[in-house]
C-alpha cells in the first residue's frame, strides 16, 4: 500500500511538499531530514534547512492510502490549483527530478552557458551595460589594462589552451546561429587599407 503524504510548514500551516512512500510517515520524515546532510541542492532541502536553522522541522500528514502511485500527481496538481507554493521539483509520479544527484558533463555545461549568453534577455542586458558605459571617462589604471590587453592580442603573446579555443569557436558558431546562419567574413588575403587602419587606431585611442 502506498501512502500519499504532505510536508507542512509549522509556522504557517501551508503544505510545501507532497510525496509518496511505502514507509511509515515517521520513517519517511526522518529520511527527509537526513537528506539535508547531503550536498544536493533542491527547493525542498533549502526549505527544510531553513526550518532546522530556527529549531523547527516539517510536519508530515497523511493525504491518502492507495495502490495507485500516480495519485501523487493528482494531489500535486490539486494543491497547485489553489496556489500552494510546493517545493516539488516535478509534477510527481517519476520519483523526483531526473537530474537529482547527477552532474552535467563539461560539454553540456558549455552548451548551456552559450545558450544562456545568447538568450534575448542576456543580449539586451549586455547592450544596456554597454550603453551606460559609453562616454564614461576611464581612469589611467583602466586605460593601461585595455592597452596591455590590446598589445597582447596584437603581438600574439596570449597562449590560449585548447579548451579556450574550442569555447571561442563554439561562441562564434552560436553568434552565427543567432543571426540566422549569416555572418560577414573577410575573403582570403583581405588587407585593410591604410586609411581604414588609421580610422581603427583613432577609434581605439578614443576608447582609452
Question: 159-184 burial by CB neighbour count: b if 16+ within 10 A, else e?
Answer: eeeeeeeeeeeeeeebeeeeeeeeee
Rounded Cα distance between 120 and 128, Å, is: 12
What is the structure's pLDDT at 46? Answer: 92
CA torsion 158-162-163-166 (nearest 10°) is 100
Give the domain ranges of the chain.
2-81, 106-180+193-207
Rounded Cα distance between 14 and 8, Å, is: 6
What is the structure's pLDDT at 100? Answer: 47
Average pLDDT of adjacent 10-residue blocks, the chain of 208 residues: 93 93 93 83 91 94 90 91 88 53 70 76 78 74 77 56 75 69 56 80 74
Rounded Cα distance between 141 and 135, Å, is: 17
**Grid cell 511509515 — which residue?**
24
What is the structure's pLDDT at 96? Answer: 45
Cβ-contact 183, 176 below 8 angstroms: yes
Amino acid at each position: 500500500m502506498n501512502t500519499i503524504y504532505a510536508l507542512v510548514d509549522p509556522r504557517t500551516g501551508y503544505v510545501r511538499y507532497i510525496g509518496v512512500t511505502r514507509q511509515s510517515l515517521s520513517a519517511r520524515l526522518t529520511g527527509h531530514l537526513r537528506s539535508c546532510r547531503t550536498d544536493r541542492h533542491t527547493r525542498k532541502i533549502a526549505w527544510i534547512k531553513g526550518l532546522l536553522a530556527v529549531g523547527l522541522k516539517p510536519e508530515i500528514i497523511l493525504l491518502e492510502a492507495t495502490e495507485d502511485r500516480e495519485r501523487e500527481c493528482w494531489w500535486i496538481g490539486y494543491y497547485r490549483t489553489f496556489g500552494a507554493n510546493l517545493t516539488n521539483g516535478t509534477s510527481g509520479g517519476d520519483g523526483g527530478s531526473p537530474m537529482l544527484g547527477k552532474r552535467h558533463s563539461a560539454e553540456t555545461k558549455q552548451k548551456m552557458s552559450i545558450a544562456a549568453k545568447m538568450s534575448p534577455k542576456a543580449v539586451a542586458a549586455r547592450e544596456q551595460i554597454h550603453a551606460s558605459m559609453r562616454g564614461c571617462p576611464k581612469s589611467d589604471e583602466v586605460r593601461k589594462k585595455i592597452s596591455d590587453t590590446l598589445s597582447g592580442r596584437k603581438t600574439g603573446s596570449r597562449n590560449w589552451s585548447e579548451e579556450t579555443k574550442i569555447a571561442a569557436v563554439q561562441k562564434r558558431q552560436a553568434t552565427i546561429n543567432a543571426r540566422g546562419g549569416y555572418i560577414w567574413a573577410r575573403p582570403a588575403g583581405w588587407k585593410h587599407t591604410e586609411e581604414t587602419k588609421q580610422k581603427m587606431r583613432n577609434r581605439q585611442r578614443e576608447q582609452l
